Homo-oligomer: A and B are copies of this chain.
């Protein structure tokens, strides 16, 4: 690992970022060919949190949050801080002081493959956080990591400047160069779903709406009646 801080990264276009946020995580993930979704152990610290922004990435070591302090300086309004860790760790690497600092810089959220603390304050401040754990466990500032290099966070390799969308369904990252295509596909999907929802609400079966009966029959599905074993 190079212990570097990369400045002046390229960020995903702000309009595309905004439109990705309007689609939500599930639709973005589908529109991206079912790619980019972080593991589901990342959960919002407070219910109802939603965020979208551009990734500033941080790589830390277990029990050490030094590089998060370094990363704050690299953040701009509209960013989301994305923290990966070189080994599984649940320590509380982030709390209300760092959240105060990030909010002062216009940062939209934190996504961290480790723990956070001051959960109550984070909720009261309405600062959105997705983390692996909530833990009061304090950390040291002793070992260098890196800022704005590609970082694996909860199973996904995040490139600095990627668009990141997060809500109740999890967290998804989209490459800067793929964002326009994902927005286009996602908005089309969203429009299509509206019509489907209406049909289903009226009692149309998915089996018919999606024309599944023929395929099911071909695959060998058999219908039987329950035995009269009473």
- Which residues from chain A sit less than 8 Å from chain B, CB to CB? 1-10, 25-26, 29-30, 32-35, 37, 39-40, 43, 48, 61-64, 66, 69-70, 72-73, 86-92, 95-98, 100-101, 103-105, 115, 117-120, 133-138, 140-144, 148, 150, 152, 155-157, 160, 167-170, 172, 193, 196-197, 200-203, 205-207, 210, 212, 216, 219-226, 230
Contacts and interface: CB of A to CB of B under 8 A. Distances in A.
Nearest to A151: B157
B219 A101 contact: no
Contact of A117 (B87, B152, B169): B169
Nearest to A172: B136
Given A26-B118, A152-B157, 16 more contacts: A2-B222, A10-B226, A26-B95, A29-B138, A34-B138, A40-B90, A62-B89, A70-B216, A87-B89, A89-B89, A92-B169, A97-B197, A101-B201, A101-B206, A104-B203, A134-B168
Nearest to A40: B135
B144 A219 contact: yes
A52 to B, nearest CB: 14
A5 to B, nearest CB: 5
Contact of A221 (B3, B138, B193, B200): B3
7 contacts: A3-B221, A26-B95, A29-B136, A119-B168, A135-B169, A142-B143, A152-B157
Contact of A226 (B7, B117, B223): B7
A3 B207 contact: no
A103 B202 CA distance: 10
B35 A226 contact: no
A196 to B, nearest CB: 6
